[in-house]
Structure 1
Amino acid sequence: MSQDKYLREIKEAVAFFWKTKSKQLVSSVDKSNRGAVVGGKQLDGFVSLLKKVAEDSGVPDSCIFTKNNYVPGFFRSSKNWDFLVVTPSKKLLAAVELKSQVGSYGNNFNNRAEEAIGSAVDLWTAYRENQFPNQQAPWLGYLMVVGKDARSIAPVKNNESIFPVLTEFREASYIDRYRILCEKLKLERHYTSTALLWTSGENEYGNVTENISLESFLKFFVAYLKSFSDEF
């Protein structure tokens, strides 16, 4: 896959993210709760990107799921993933989780980390317990979009009142912490591949680091899907 094959779709996904976020901020002042509903759609552009990548890789539309993607768990009944690829024989081929954070970094970073770790552990334990019989391990992806601003690039104070934290968290900003999270999620094989994208506006975005770039994420995803072409 060429480096810029999906450049237009990525740009459109980032622009859609900011346009939807702006609508959410405007809607949040009313009493209809529409702001919360719109907020859940911020990453729909990235869902569309994944759908196109899957279709280009030979996956039929009927095998791509972008709504009500409930997958059985072990510690809980089920988890609604953002994007699934399921073969005609009902094998879970791939599951992707999409998350974003712009602002309120101190309040939400730990929540994002706990969600990412918990979702992966739950699915892999369910897989071990044969909730997905007669199939190979699925491809798990985690894509995070984080705002780049004065708050997210500034060093964050660590809580070390009793024990010291790992050295990599010293002088680390919230973007650094997301980079560490995404790298370790992949290193520990909680996710097959992870991607971290920063953005500060509709036309302003980039990869935090190459080893967890969106382009490499999509490249691995394409290679995996094509390796299972006989399933379709």
Structure 2
Amino acid sequence: MKTFWQIRDRQIKDQERRGGSDQGARSAVTGGKQMDGFVRKIIELMTASGVDEGNIYTKKTHLPGFFRPVKGWDIVVVVDGVLMAAIELKSQVGLSFGNNFNNRTEEAMGTALDIWTAYREGAFCTSPAPWLGYLFLLEDCPESRSPVRTQETHFPVFEEFRGASYAKRYELFCRKLVRERQYNAACFIIADREKSNSFESYIEPADDLSADLFLSQLNRHVGGRE
């Protein structure tokens, strides 16, 4: 978690020093790399479960889609020409929560639809169904914790969304991705910037979206054991 905040802060400072148009906190979103610490840990755990590191890709991760030619994932596992797993890691920190929530949810749903349709149409040859994972990190702050009013212009929204904060909305979203079988597992983490140097730097608000469950399911699929 500490690595996440360090990379984010460095990206902001570098961008502001260069004086680019992508200044301020936005540079920490468009700059990428913030999730590298999570990527390294996931790879470490997969190799400990018996996966050859040469079969784990963090570059050259583009997979064919159905509605678009290709999509780059954060981690892809390919063994003997068989697509075993594809993992997406995303975060939201300190920006417009409303716009970014819509962007993140639409992106995740579109990515799942695209790859599963491509799989159905034979894009991955004779590969069995791959394991898809979605990990999301949200900043713990008043803006993400405060209740949000919904717009119900013509029809009522589902009850669980009424008064739900963005933290709760993301939790519901991750859970529904799994229940609707868009992803095999999802992990939802809320991180506190002010506690980045302590063991209490993050919380996992839902047991069914915990890192332990996410990683154990991944390891069972790609390594054959937890």
TM (norm. structure 2) is 0.90
Among 37, 41, 49, the alignment partner of 1:45 is 37
Give the CA deviation at 1:111: 0.2
Does 27-36 or 170-179 show the bigger shift?
27-36
Q: Does 1:148 align with 2:140?
A: yes
Q: Does 1:221 align with 2:209?
A: no
Residue pair 1:155, 1:171 contacting (<8 A) in 2 also? yes
Compute the RMSD of aligned alpha carbons.
1.7
Q: Percent identity?
A: 43
Residue pair 1:182, 1:194 contacting (<8 A) in 2 also? yes
Structure 1 consecutive aligned stretches of length 4 or more whose deviation exceeds 6 Å = none
Among 64, 67, 71, the alignment partner of 2:63 is 71
Q: Aligned residue for 2:206? A: 209
AA of the residue aligned to 2:84:
L
Q: Aligned residue for 1:31? A: 19
Residue pair 2:12, 2:28 contacting (<8 A) in 1 also? no
Q: Aligned residue for 1:173? A: 165
Take 1:56 and 1:118, find their aligned partners in 2: how far apart are those partners?
32
AA of the residue aligned to 2:6:
K
1:184-199 mapped onto 2 (5 Å cutoff): 184-199=176-191
Secondary structure of 1:136 counterpart: coil
Q: Which ranges in structure 2 are unaligned for 5 or more consecutive residues? A: none
Does 51-60 or 116-125 show the bigger shift?
51-60
TM (norm. structure 1) is 0.88
Residue pair 1:20, 1:39 contacting (<8 A) in 2 also? no
1:98-113 mapped onto 2 (5 Å cutoff): 98-103=89-94, 104-113=96-105
Does 178-187 or 159-168 show the bigger shift?
159-168
Take 1:171 and 1:38, find their aligned partners in 2: how far apart are those partners?
30
Give the CA deviation at 1:38: 7.9
Give the CA deviation at 1:17: 0.4
Q: Aligned residue for 1:7? A: none
Residue pair 1:97, 1:143 contacting (<8 A) in 2 also? yes
Take 1:158 and 1:28, find their aligned partners in 2: how far apart are those partners?
35
AA of the residue aligned to 1:113:
T
Residue pair 2:186, 2:209 contacting (<8 A) in 1 also? yes
Deviations 1:178-199 (A, max 9, x none): 0000000000000000000000
Q: Aligned residue for 1:81? A: 73
Give the CA deviation at 1:39: 2.9
Among 86, 89, 92, the alignment partner of 1:95 is 86
Q: Paired residues, what number? A: 214
Q: Residues 179, 36 of structure 1: CA spacing in aligned structure 2 closer, same or farther, 3 A cutoff?
A: closer
Secondary structure of 2:104 counterpart: helix
Take 1:107 and 1:37, find their aligned partners in 2: how far apart are those partners?
13
Residue pair 1:83, 1:96 contacting (<8 A) in 2 also? yes
